[in-house]
Amino acid sequence: MDDKLEDLQKLFSGLQQSVESEELWKGVEASIDSAMAQYKAHLLARLRKELQQFVGHCEMRLEAIRLRQSATKNMLALAQSDVDSGDTIESKTRELRILKERLALLRRQYRARVKLGTRSANSPKGKKEIPESVRRYRLPRGPRQNKSLSLRELYEAWFVGNERTPDGMPIARVLQEYPNWSSTETTYFNRLKRVAQLLQTVGEGDVASAVDKVEAYMQEYKVPGVNALSDQCSKQKDAPGMEEVVRRVQECVARRELK
């Protein structure tokens, strides 16, 4: 027991001497300085790396902003150039309208491609064979809930032609090319033909101008559509007849011009 106590006292005495030793504390201080230096170096390296990444990100953002600004300037310069040269939306709209008119003219001038000398087995001698596109064509009608076609729809199909008429030809041209077209034998064809004749009579060579005039008449006299207008131009009982309708249209136009 005494031996153990003596050993403990020796250990304590040695520890006390070590604590009071300057060498010990110098070693501790050196260890702390070394650890702090390593931490400082690590912290500085990490901070430097993060700052470099942030600077690189900022450079990319600035470059993107510069490119957008350059593109915006180019667009503004181009727009200003278009304005200075008169190349505006209005001018493009006018060009588009002119192109549409030219397309309509080409459609009117178009001829169905039929081989020379070809005859149908059922056609009289000297008449062209009616192509499949003409045979399958159905005369234009109004919407299902209202069978009456509008006047402008009739004008376009009969005198101008569109994507629904045979090969883009107007009906008037189809009649010239193929007078034996079976659709001419229908009652509905005769209805449309009467209104087409009305437009030709009122227009006096300018059918397009007749559309507005006849529409004004239909509005004033509350004529709902092409079917009703055709009935008025017919020789049916109580119908005004073609001549009377033409006279009414002319009077309607004159009244509108006086307003």
161-202: pLDDT as tens digits? 888 888 888 999 999 988 888 888 888 899 999 999 999 999
- Answer yes or no: is 66 within a domain: no
Q: Please report which confidence band the pLDDT of residue 258 belongs to, taking 50, 70 and 90 as the band edges.
A: confident
Domains held by the chain: number: 1
The answer to the question of residue 96 being in a domain is no
Q: What percent of the chain has pLDDT over 90?
A: 23
- At 102-112, the pLDDT tens digits run 777 676 565 44
Tell whether pTM > 0.75. no
Q: What is the pLDDT of residues 232-244, one digit of tens each?
A: 999 888 889 999 9
How would residue 82 be classed by pLDDT, with cut points 50, 70 and 90? low
Domain assignment of residue 206, yes or no: yes
pLDDT at position 119, please? 43
User: Residue 229: inside a domain, yes or no?
Assistant: yes
Instruction: Tell me what pLDDT residue 246 has.
Output: 94
pLDDT at 94 over 80: no
First to last CA, the chain: 138
Confidence of residue 44 (pLDDT cuts 50, 70, 90): confident
Query: What are the tens digits of pLDDT across the range 112-133?
Result: 443 333 444 344 444 568 888 8
Per-residue model confidence (pLDDT) at position 115: 35
Q: Where are the alpha helices (DSSP H) in the chain?
A: 2-19, 22-85, 89-109, 132-136, 151-155, 171-177, 187-203, 207-220, 226-233, 242-258
Would the pLDDT of 98 be above 50?
yes
- Is 136 domain-assigned? yes
Average pLDDT, the chain: 80
- Give the model's confidence band at 219: pLDDT under 50 very low, under 70 low, under 90 confident, else very high: very high
The answer to whether position 150 is within a domain reads yes
Q: Binning pLDDT at 50, 70 and 90, where does residue 43 land? A: confident
Query: Which of the pair, 8 or 253, is modelled with greater confidence?
Result: 253
Query: 42 falls in which pLDDT band (50, 70, 90)?
Result: confident
How far apart (Å, rounded) are the C-alpha atoms in residues 136 and 167?
A: 11
Structural domain contains residue 177: yes
Quick check: is 232 in a domain?
Answer: yes
CB 107 within 8 A of CB 171: no
Distance between CA atoms of residues 243 and 233, nearest Å? 8
Please tell me the distance from the alpha carbon of residue 130 to that of residue 121, in angstroms, as a whole number: 11
Structural domain that includes position 244: 110-258
